[in-house]
Amino acid sequence: MKRLHKIWSIPEVGLLVPLILFTIVFYWLNASFLGSNSVAAMLRAMAFVGVIAVGQTWLMIAGGIDLSVGSVAGLCAVVSSWLMKAHGWQVEAGIAAGVCIGMLAGLINGVISVRLGIPAFIATLGMLYIARGFNYLLCQGYPIYPIPEPLKNFGRAEPLGLSWAFVVFALLVIVGDFFLRRTIYGRMVYATGGNVEVARIAGINTNGVQIGCYVLTGAMSALAGMLLMAQLNVGQPEIGVGWELDVIASVVIGGVSLFGGAGTVTGTFLGLLIMQVVRSGLVVSGVNTHWQTVAVGVIMVAAVGVDLLRRKTKESLS
């Protein structure tokens, strides 16, 4: 009995239950749901938002949040493609420039919200508009193409029938989860999000930890934008539009607390998988696509409710 309770107390186990139930229901409605092509399409579709969600997981556990991730992803993709197309930059230099811009955006978000004390919601919402504005100013709303052939080939490749974007996402989940759970810096992230004052008294540079997580999220946003750029073979100004909502939804559904201090990267992966299963399941079942958004919203509200209930239960027992 104790062993069963110990297993059930693992946050990820609780996420497997709805994931399995949704999968069974949609498979019962349409057996093609678990076909190889359908599964591969689901995994490919979740890769770009998933890359950003890894960084957002770290940030929200540390007590922050970034609403600008989609716009930053689009800006970095457009800048990178513009440098390679208009100025003849090599692929490596163009990608590095895009990542640096993402990190700079994250650094600015972190300094404004952590150092200046402006609420992260407001600071990153402002960055959302700034990044999107610069994006359209640079390309005037037109796509930038062609991109270099090596990048085009990378985007077209399908290792194991998937995509390099998903492979990158899977590696980031493994590495991100390991460093968050098993390293001193990861423990400092949890401590900072759990109680910033106690963490500061314990000698943790909480400002540095939170700003570092903002920079990480910016880098992941840039990477996601450029991965989609490679797959589309074009620097599209609409890249990243609406991603911030899917990123936050997947992180919250995955068990990361809105109050900080709790959650895992593996949980975020499962949360994103639940979202994708529901969306794809509704599509193959012939349900109106607008119900996808409704379903994700319901699941997200339920996840937040569970988080609040868990916190209240923990407080009553302590």
Asked, for residue 128, whether it belongs to a domain, the answer is yes
d(CA 224, CA 77): 9
Quick one: pLDDT at residue 141? Answer: 83
Asked, for residue 194, whether it belongs to a domain, the answer is yes
CB atoms within 10 A of CB 147: 24
Asked, for residue 152, whether it belongs to a domain, the answer is yes
d(CA 104, CA 218): 7
Q: 3-class secondary structure for 242-278?
A: CHHHHHHHHHHHCCCCCCCCCCCHHHHHHHHHHHHHH
Asked, for residue 150, whether it belongs to a domain, the answer is yes
Domain residue limits at 223: 42-241
Asked, for residue 88, whether it belongs to a domain, the answer is yes
The pTM assigned to this predicted structure is 0.92
Block means of pLDDT (10 residues each) for the chain, 318 residues, are: 60 81 90 86 93 98 96 96 90 95 97 95 96 92 88 89 93 96 95 94 94 98 96 91 93 89 93 92 81 81 74 63
Asked, for residue 259, whether it belongs to a domain, the answer is no
d(CA 268, CA 109): 22
The number of domains in the chain is 1
Asked, for residue 4, whether it belongs to a domain, the answer is no
CA distances, 221 to each of 50, 68, 121 (Å) = 10, 9, 17
- Residue 25 tokens read as 């229901």
Asked, for residue 55, whether it belongs to a domain, the answer is yes
d(CA 283, CA 245): 20
